[in-house]
Amino acid sequence: MSEADIMTRIDWVRQSCRLLAGIADEFARTKPFAGLSMATGIHLEPKTAALLMTLKAGGAEIVATGNLNSTQPATVDYLRGQGIEVIGAQTRDAEEHGAFLDSVMSRKPALILDNGGDLFARYAQSPYAGLIGGTEETTSGRMRLEPMRQNIALPVLVINDSPIKQFAENRHAVGQSLFESYLRFTNRSTNGKRVTVFGYGACGRGTAACFRNAFSAVSVVDIDPVTTLEAHLDGFNTPQRADAIRSADVIITVTGHPAIVTVADMPLLKDGVILMNGGHFPQEIAVEAMRAHPSVTRVERYAEEAIETFVLDDGRRLHVLGAGHMANLAGPRPLGNTVESMDLGFALQARCLERVASRVLDKSACVVPVPKDIDAAVAAAYLDLHR
């Protein structure tokens, strides 16, 4: 086999992102970002490479950095080889990651593609002339940025508030990828396991459904009684929080909020419980506080599989996957969500950035959902390709 015949994962993903490929061809002609600098703070993995190459085809001058723990070195090397500046490397150190973000924002970009609100939060603290606006990918980021609307006062379109993103990526793809990640990390069965899912938004719905379909007994915990009622009527167990923790063989957090499972819950946790997080920030499970708790007599590390076991003074063992980072982008062979779902989500990103760059939006579009006409156009394009 010749070297030219060897395909990388990035090649496979780019060939599979058919929506982005069509948009890239269009952008190469229309150049919607000509003369504009763009800062991106988003997971740097192969599907993101396809998005950034699409934006580059549109004329964007990109400076990119990643999110905590999810930056993949092969993707960084690829992007740099394609002429995209990447600042930083994979890290779990929040201070180091913050320095990467500061460096990106020191360029004073005209457009921002954010994932978790890190870049826009910095802009809100230190505004500068010349920012047109941008996009935010996540619910976590939207919740973080909503109180900053007055300080931002620029168009920011929230991709996660698109119905397409909610059902295609969050409900279907996140559920699938967290289920796959559980198997990839542990190589353990789901059959008959008692699984507790914290959060019954779109991600939680998909996660709960995938584990139920794999013959687990699934319980759901949500702070909203209406959402909890929905889970109950969907056929899931909805016990009180303490009972849901006490009975669980596996606990999965997908809420977007910090401190969902904390050291206060340690007395409730079953011997051998597996703790995994699917939320954007690694704060839903208080891993560092648990690791340092006086009841932990030693920590066993299965480094190859990114599993830590906290051995307690009463003999119980608590297993943490990926140090509490987003499990589908942590640990061995982190694949993230499916290519098709990300192709849809990143098509929304590209079209929303195109809309912001056109300067037809005003500050009333600050931290708002994707415009409905963009949802409709992306949905129609996907259906034309796949049905």
> Of 329, 359, 378, which closes a domain?
329
In a domain, 58, yes or no: yes
In a domain, 306, yes or no: yes
Same domain, 185 and 307: yes
Q: What is the pLDDT of residue 67?
A: 86
Q: What is the pLDDT of residue 4?
A: 55
C-alpha 59/C-alpha 36 separation (Å) is: 7
C-alpha 135/C-alpha 160 separation (Å) is: 10
Q: What is the pLDDT of residue 211?
A: 98
Same domain, 257 and 379: no
Same domain, 221 and 266: yes
In a domain, 52, yes or no: yes
What mean pLDDT comes out for the span 83-107?
A: 93
Q: What is the pLDDT of residue 334?
A: 86
| Helices 372-386/339-357 angle, 10° precision | 140
Q: What is the pLDDT of residue 127?
A: 97
Which percentage of the chain shows pLDDT scores above 70? Answer: 99
The residue among 224 and 71 whose pLDDT is bigger is: 224
Q: What is the pLDDT of residue 218?
A: 98
What mean pLDDT comes out for the span 5-28?
A: 92
Average pLDDT of the chain?
A: 95
- Per the structure, the complete domain to which residue 314 belongs is given by 167-329
Q: What is the pLDDT of residue 5?
A: 66
Same domain, 130 and 32: yes
Q: How far is CA 214 from the centre of its chain?
A: 23
In a domain, 159, yes or no: no
pLDDT at 60 over 70: yes
C-alpha 64/C-alpha 66 separation (Å) is: 7
Residue 65's SS3 state is strand
Q: What is the pLDDT of residue 70?
A: 82
Q: What is the pLDDT of residue 331?
A: 83
- Number of domains, the chain: 2
Give the CATH number, domain containing residue 219. 3.40.50.720
What mean pLDDT comes out for the span 336-358?
A: 96
pLDDT 10s digits, 171-215? 999 999 999 999 999 999 999 999 999 999 999 999 999 999 999
Same domain, 282 and 366: no
pLDDT at 3 over 70: no
Same domain, 187 and 320: yes
Give the CATH number, domain containing residue 139. 3.40.50.1480
Same domain, 78 and 133: yes
pLDDT at 227 over 90: yes
In a domain, 228, yes or no: yes
Q: What is the pLDDT of residue 90?
A: 85
Q: How confident is the model at residue 48 (pLDDT cuts 50, 70, 90)?
A: very high
Q: How far is CA 93 from CA 98, 100, 304, 335, 387, in A?
A: 9, 11, 19, 22, 44
Neighbours of 200 (CB within 10 A): 27
Same domain, 222 and 149: no
Q: How confident is the model at residue 68 (pLDDT cuts 50, 70, 90)?
A: confident
In a domain, 161, yes or no: no
C-alpha 251/C-alpha 244 separation (Å) is: 9
Q: What is the pLDDT of residue 332?
A: 80
Same domain, 343 and 325: no
Same domain, 235 and 285: yes
Q: What is the dihedral of CA 80, 81, 84, 86, to 10 degrees?
A: 0
pLDDT at 339 over 90: yes
What mean pLDDT comes out for the span 95-104?
A: 95
> Of 329, 351, 369, which closes a domain?
329
In a domain, 272, yes or no: yes
What mean pLDDT comes out for the span 276-297?
A: 95
The residue among 377 and 94 whose pLDDT is bigger is: 377
Neighbours of 1 (CB within 10 A): 5
Tokens 């051995």 found at? 311
Instruction: Indicate the helix (H) or strand (E) that contains 92.
Output: none
Same domain, 305 and 179: yes
C-alpha 339/C-alpha 322 separation (Å) is: 22
In a domain, 162, yes or no: no
Same domain, 58 and 194: no
Q: What pTM, to 2 d.p., does this model score?
A: 0.87
pLDDT at 1 over 50: no
pLDDT 10s digits, 122-139? 999 999 999 999 999 998
pLDDT at 7 over 80: no
